[in-house]
């Protein structure tokens, strides 16, 4: 068994077919097929079962996934650690993030990170819900994840976690929509006869929208999974949207009216990763967040302390420009 075999096996697992795995690995399809067959011969068992036109994991294959990911990850971390001895001058950082948190705080965090480590390539992987972030990080598609949920520390108890900030919910509308006057937060019972543009089930934004519908005569007019379409739909006049406060700068920039909602629901935003030694690129990202003064709850906290140094590269981390979002 060698690392090439394990990479081919995991590519088939992650992409669902030998053909797509070969495209991902930039090799010919027969090469992946032969590699998998040799691995199965060495192990003395079938790793995949054919189901229709696709492949599914056999029980033996399912048992191999986690150890294979750990071996591949450990080799990648070892290679990157050696490469970073003279400074973090390359490598890649893959971050899984929910859409609203890409708007904020991830944009500011990446800016600070890129300022400190301009030679590291950053890739952001889309994850619609907290469970999607969990799966993406656990499968090794991303090394760290930005997650927003009610009680992040409870949702990700099996992950390491750095709190970043807490986000409230706001109502975004055009100026011609009738809302109670003033700038005070809007209670749900103050809302009436509104057409809501709602995100998908399983998100905090949808939970608040459903609470508004249950308590008032407002109704959900449009449900959309593509959150990048929320503000354009509001601008078009088809309704109002409940979004996280991270959207406020963009809504302000395009001339929309933003009012905070007087609801108990909030989103705890944090960085999560599996409990193992991080690559130098990921460890530096954690350090940038801590160095920027995030402790997640009561305000800016201290930078990385002595207990954090095991997961930090030797080179100077730097502070970065990120401020706590409010």
Q: What is the pLDDT of residues 14-29, one digit of tens each?
A: 888 898 899 988 899 9
Q: Average pLDDT, stretch 278-292?
A: 86
| Angle, vertex CA 201, rays to CA 196 and CA 205, nearest 5 | 50
Pairing relation of β-strands 219-223 and 195-198?
A: parallel
Q: Which of these ranges, 120-129, 156-165, 213-222, 256-265, has the smallest mean pLDDT?
A: 156-165
Edge-to-edge order in the sheet of strand 160-167: 121-126, 92-97, 144-149, 267-273, 160-167
pLDDT for the residue numbered 305: 35
How distant is the alpha carbon of residue 47 from its chain centre?
30
Alpha-carbon gap, residue 322 to 109, rounded angstroms: 6
pLDDT for the residue numbered 313: 39
* pLDDT reading at 294 higher than 90: no
pLDDT for the residue numbered 204: 84
- Pick 82 or 291 by higher pLDDT: 291
Alpha-carbon gap, residue 137 to 262, rounded angstroms: 33
Q: How confident is the model at residue 292 (pLDDT cuts 50, 70, 90)?
A: confident
* pLDDT reading at 75 higher than 50: yes
pLDDT for the residue numbered 45: 92
What are the Cα distances from residue 277, in Å, to 204, 243, 312?
A: 31, 35, 10
* pLDDT reading at 311 higher than 50: no
- The DSSP secondary-structure symbol of 9 reads H
Check: CB of residue 180 under 8 Å from CB of residue 193: no
Q: Average pLDDT, stretch 276-299?
A: 73
Token pair, residue 278, equals: 């991080």
* pLDDT reading at 244 higher than 70: yes
Q: Which residues on neighbouring strands pair with residue 48, listed in sequence order?
A: 57
pLDDT for the residue numbered 213: 95
pTM for this model (two decimals): 0.68
């Amino acid at each position: 068994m060698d690392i090439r075999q394990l990479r081919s096996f995991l590519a088939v697992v992650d992409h669902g077919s030998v053909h797509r795995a070969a495209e991902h690995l930039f090799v010919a399809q027969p090469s992946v097929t032969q590699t998998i067959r040799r691995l199965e011969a060495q192990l003395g068992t079938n790793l995949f079962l054919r189901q229709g036109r696709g492949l599914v994991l056999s029980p033996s294959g399912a048992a191999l996934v986690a150890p294979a990911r750990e071996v591949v990850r450990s080799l990648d971390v070892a290679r990157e650690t050696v490469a970073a001895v003279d400074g973090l001058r390359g490598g890649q950082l893959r971050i899984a993030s929910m859409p609203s948190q890409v708007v904020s705080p991830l944009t500011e965090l990446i800016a600070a990170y890129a300022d400190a480590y301009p030679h590291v390539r950053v890739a952001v992987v889309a994850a619609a819900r907290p469970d999607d972030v969990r799966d993406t990080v656990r499968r090794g598609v991303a090394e760290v994840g930005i997650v927003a949920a009610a009680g992040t520390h409870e949702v990700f108890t099996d992950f390491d976690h750095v709190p970043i900030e807490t986000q409230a919910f706001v109502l975004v509308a055009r100026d011609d929509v009738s809302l109670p006057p003033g700038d005070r937060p809007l209670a749900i019972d103050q809302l009436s006869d509104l057409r809501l543009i709602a995100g998908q089930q399983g998100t905090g934004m949808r939970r608040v929208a459903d609470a508004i519908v249950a308590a008032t005569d407002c109704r959900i007019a449009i449900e959309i999974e593509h959150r990048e379409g929320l503000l354009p739909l509001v601008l078009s006049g088809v309704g109002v949207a409940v979004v996280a406060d991270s959207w406020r700068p963009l809504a302000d920039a395009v001339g929309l009216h933003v009012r905070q909602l007087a609801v108990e629901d909030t989103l705890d935003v944090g960085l999560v990763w599996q409990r193992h030694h991080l690559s130098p690129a990921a460890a530096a990202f954690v350090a940038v967040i801590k160095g920027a003064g995030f402790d997640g709850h009561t305000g800016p906290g201290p930078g990385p302390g002595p207990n954090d140094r095991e997961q930090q590269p030797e080179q100077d981390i730097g502070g970065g420009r990120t401020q706590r979002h409010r």
